[in-house]
């Protein structure tokens, strides 16, 4: 599945909800289904700075693609990082670097987060793209 196809799928999922509270609850449900990061990566080295809650993000490079895993101590943040992983994981560094992530605005996510959570979202995206840049520089 391409990044665009993954984004379109998420936009479609969110289109079933009439108001933001239902969408917010859906993000919480997504947080409950986040495949957790290996405990060995729940250290300061993998902690994303700029987030209101603790968020650990790890990336593996395999066969030219990047695979992310994450965890957070806040359920809403788990849902947000789950959405990002669904779109970006399993793609090449160039695809991740070039991803516009238009679905975030299309589903209204950024507009309905508190300023600190919105900053955290930006920090998560930045860290995922930094992993892509690092893997690109190392392997390509």
pLDDT in tens, the chain (140 residues): 999 999 999 999 999 998 999 999 999 999 999 987 999 999 999 999 877 799 999 999 999 999 999 999 999 999 999 999 999 999 999 999 999 999 999 999 988 888 888 899 999 999 999 999 999 999 87
Tell me, what's the pLDDT at 114? 84
The Cα–Cα gap between 51 and 89 comes to 20
What pLDDT, on a 0 to 100 scale, did the predictor assign at position 140? 74
In terms of CATH architecture, what is 3-139?
Answer: Alpha-Beta Complex (3.90)
Query: Looking at residue 86, what is its pLDDT?
Result: 97
Instruction: Quote the pTM value.
Output: 0.95
**Options 3, 37, 51, 57, the catalytic residue:** 51
How far apart (Å, rounded) are the C-alpha atoms in residues 77 and 75? 5
51 belongs to the catalytic site: yes
Q: Residues 6 or more apart from 72 whose CB is under 8 A from it?
A: 31, 51, 53, 54, 55, 56, 78, 81
């Amino acid at each position: 599945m391409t990044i665009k196809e993954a984004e379109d799928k998420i936009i479609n999922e969110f289109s079933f909800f009439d108001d933001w509270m239902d969408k917010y609850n859906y993000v919480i449900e997504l947080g409950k289904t986040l495949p957790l990061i290996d405990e060995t990566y729940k250290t300061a080295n993998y902690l994303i700075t700029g987030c209101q809650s603790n968020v650990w993000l790890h990336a593996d490079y395999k066969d030219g693609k990047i695979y992310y895993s994450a965890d957070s101590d806040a359920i809403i943040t788990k849902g947000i990082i789950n959405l990002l992983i669904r779109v970006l994981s399993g793609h090449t560094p160039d695809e991740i670097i070039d991803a516009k992530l238009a679905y975030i605005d299309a589903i209204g996510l950024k507009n309905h987060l508190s300023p600190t959570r919105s900053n955290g979202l930006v920090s998560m995206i930045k860290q995922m793209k930094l992993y892509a840049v690092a893997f690109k520089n190392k392997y390509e």
